[in-house]
Structure 1
Amino acid sequence: MRGIRQKIQENTTKCGLPANSTIRAEGDARYNNSTFSAVGKTSFQAATQVTYTMCENVTSKIKVIAVFCGNKLCKKGEVLRRRGANVTCPDHPDCTANVAADTNIGNEKRWAGECIREIQRDPHSLTVSHLTTDGDSAAATGASEIQGQPIENLKDLRHFFESQRKQTSKAPFSASMFPDRTKTDRESVQKRFAQDLKMRCRSEYENAYDHYGGDIRKLTRAMSYVVDSILTCYRGECGRPCQKHSFACKGLKKSHWKSSVLPKNFKLNVNDNDEHLLRDCVNLTLGPKNLCRIRFHTSTQKCESVNRAYLRSNSKCITSSRNFEPKIHRVVHSLNEGYGNSTLKLCEAVGAPVVKGGKVVHLLKQQEKRQAYFRQRQQSKL
Structure 2
Amino acid sequence: MKGERKRQAGRFLSGHKVLFKRQRLQATSGTQTEYNIPSTSKCHTETAGFNIHPLFGQDSPGSHRILRPRSEKKGDNYHFEALPIEGNRIVDIVKMLEMWNSVIRGHVKQKPKTCSLPNFVLATEEKWGAAWKCSVKCTKCGFTSPVHKLYSEVHTGKRGPKPASVNLTLQSGLMDTPISNSRARLLMADLDIPPPARNSMQKLTNYVNTKTARLNTLSMREKITEVKSINARGGAMDPNVINVAVDGRYNCITIGHSKKPGQGASQAIALACETNTEHKYILAAVMQNKLCWIGAWMKGKGMQVECPGGHEGCTANLVTEAPLSELDMGRALGTEFALQNVLIKFATTDGDGRAAQGIEESLQYLHPMWKVERLADPTHLAASQFRQCSNAKFSDNMFPGKTKLEKGKFKKILSQDVKARCSLIVKNLLKDHCGNIQELKKRLPKILQATILCYDGDCSKCRVHSVVCNGNLRSNWWIRSMFLAANKFTSLQMEDNDKFILNEILKIRLSEEAIIKTRFNTNTQKCEALNRSLSVSLPKNVNYGRNAMGRLSSTILRNNIGIKGSTEGKANYLGAKLSSKTRHSLTRMENERKYYSQYKNRPAVKKRNLFTRGRKLYSFAKYKQSHSVESGYKKGQLDFQNRAITDNSLEDHSYCQ
TM-score by structure 1 length? 0.89
Q: Given residue 288 of structure 1, which amino acid in structure 2 is its aligned partner?
A: E
Secondary structure of 1:10's aligned partner: helix
Structure 2 match to 1:98: 317
The structural deviation recorded for 1:130 is: 1.5
Partner Cα separation in structure 2 for residue 39 and residue 333 of structure 1 = 32
Report the equivalent of 1:135.
351
Separation (CA, whole Å) in 2 of partners of 1:181 and 1:116:
56
Identify the range of structure 1 (209-218 vs 320-329) with the bigger mean alpha-carbon deviation. Answer: 209-218
Q: Decide which structure has the larger Cα Rg and report it.
A: 2
Structure 2 CA distance, aligned partners of 1:31 and 1:99?
14
In structure 1, the gaps of 5 or more residues are none
Offset at residue 309 of structure 1 (A): 1.0
**Residue 112 (structure 2) aligns with:** none
3-state secondary structure, aligned to 2:603: coil
Residue of structure 2 in register with 1:116 after alignment: 334
Hey, what's the Cα distance between the residues in 2 that align with 1:286 and 1:83?
60
Identity level (%): 30
Where do 1:201-216 residues align within 5 Å? 201-216=422-437
* 8 Å CA contact retained: 1:10, 1:19: no
Residues 37 and 156 (structure 1 numbering): CA distance in 2 closer, same or farther, change over 3 Å? closer
Q: Is the 8 A contact 2:229 2:239 kept in 1?
A: no
Does structure 1 residue 331 correspond to structure 2 residue 535?
A: no
Pick closer, same or farther for the CA change 1:314–1:26 going to 2, 3 Å: same
Letter of the structure 2 residue corresponding to residue 369 of structure 1: N
Paired position in structure 2 for 1:220: 441
**Cα-to-partner distance string for 1:70-119 (whole Å, 9 max, x where unaligned):** 111111112222333221100223211111111112x2111122122222
Structure 2 partner of 1:256: 476
Letter in 2 for 1:97: A
Gaps (5+ residues) in structure 2? 1-219, 365-369, 605-657
Q: Which residue of 2 aligns with 1:146?
A: 362
What's the counterpart of residue 378 of structure 1?
Answer: 600
- C-alpha distance in 2, partners of 1:370/1:184? 46
Flag the 1:68–1:250 CA change in 2: closer, same or farther, 3 A. Answer: same
Quick check: 53-62 or 220-229, which moved more?
220-229
1:345 aligns with one of 569, 573, 598: 569
Structure 2 contact 425–468 (Cα < 8 Å) conserved: yes
1:47 counterpart residue number: 265
Instruction: Work out whether residues 328 and 355 of structure 2, in 8 Å CA contact, stay in contact via their aligned partners in 1.
Output: yes
Match for 2:468: what amino acid? A
227, 242, 245: which one aligns with 1:26: 245
- Closer, same or farther: CA 293–269 of 1 in aligned 2, 3 Å: same
Distance 1:53 1:98, change over 3 A: same
Deviations 1:298-343, CA, capped at 9 Å, x for gaps: 1111001101111332211111211111111011111111110111
Greater Cα offset, 273-282 or 297-306: 273-282
Is contact 1:26-1:300 (8 Å) kept?
yes
Match of 2:380 in 1: 159
* Cα gap change, 1:216 to 1:39, in 2 (>3 Å): farther
- TM-score with structure 2 length normalisation? 0.54
Contact kept? 1:71, 1:98, Cα under 8 Å: yes
Cα 1:19–1:150 change in 2 (3 A) is: closer
Alignment-derived partner of residue 76 in structure 1: 294
Structure 1 residue 244 and structure 2 residue 460: aligned? Answer: no
In the alignment, the residues of structure 2 paired with residue 37 and residue 155 of structure 1 have an alpha-carbon distance, to the nearest angstrom, of 23
Q: 2:590 aligns with which of 356, 359, 368?
A: 368
The alpha carbon displacement at 1:20 in A equals 4.9
Q: Which moved more, 1:304-313 or 1:162-171?
A: 162-171
Secondary structure at the aligned position of 1:66 is classed as strand
Q: Which structure's relative contact order is higher, taking Cα pairs within 8 Å and 6+ residues apart?
A: 1
Separation in structure 2 between the aligned mates of residue 111 and residue 278 of structure 1, nearest angstrom:
37
CA contact (8 A) 1:235 1:268 kept: yes
Residue 70 of structure 1 aligns to a residue whose secondary structure is strand
- Amino acid aligned to 2:277: T
> Structure 1 residues 77, 129: closer, same or farther in 2, change over 3 A?
same
What CA distance in whole angstroms lies between the structure 2 residues aligned with 1:225 and 1:207?
Answer: 15
Supply the distance in 1 between the matched residues of 2:256 and 2:470 (Cα, whole angstroms).
Answer: 42
What's the CA shift for 1:169?
Answer: 2.7
| C-alpha contact (below 8 Å) 2:450/2:461 kept by paired residues | yes
Q: Alpha carbons of 1:16 and 1:195: their partners in 2 closer, same or farther (altered >3 Å)?
A: closer
SS of match in other structure, 1:154: strand
**Cα separation, partners in 2 of 1:181 and 1:373, compared to 1, 3 Å:** closer
Tell me, yes or no, if the aligned pair for 1:137 and 1:153 is still in contact at 8 Å: no
Work out the CA distance in 2 between the residues paired with 1:297 and 1:251.
28
- 2:280 is paired with a residue whose SS is coil
Q: Which residue of 1 aligns with 2:625?
A: none
CA distance in 2 between counterparts of 1:53 and 1:375 reads: 21
**How far apart, in 1, do the equivalents of 2:372 and 2:308 lie?**
31
Q: Which residue of 2 aligns with 1:200?
A: 421
> Partner of 1:175 in structure 2?
396
Q: Does residue 6 of the first structure (1) align with residue 230 of the second (2)?
A: no
Matches within 5 A, 1:300-315: 300-315=524-539
- In 2, Cα distance between equivalents of 1:273 and 1:326: 55
Aligned CA distance change for structure 1 residues 80 and 162 (closer, same or farther; 3 Å): same
Distance 1:303 1:44 in 2: 26
Amino acid corresponding to residue 221 of structure 2 in structure 1: R
Figure out how many residues of one structure are paired with residues of the other and give that number.
373
- Native 8 Å contact 2:326 2:353 kept in 1: no
CA distance in 1 between counterparts of 2:571 and 2:535 reads 22
d(CA) in 2 for partners of 1:19 and 1:351? 39
Q: Work out the CA distance in 1 between the residues paired with 2:374 and 2:598.
A: 28
Partners of 2:415 and 2:284 in 1: CA distance: 37
Q: Which residue type is aligned with residue 362 of structure 1?
A: H
Instruction: Provide the rounded CA distance (Å) in 1 between the counterparts of 2:262 and 2:231.
Output: 41
Deviation at 1:370, TM superposition (A): 2.9
RMSD between aligned alpha carbons? 2.4
Q: Structure 1 pair 231/163, CA: closer, same or farther in 2 (3 Å)?
A: same
Counterpart secondary structure, 2:565: helix
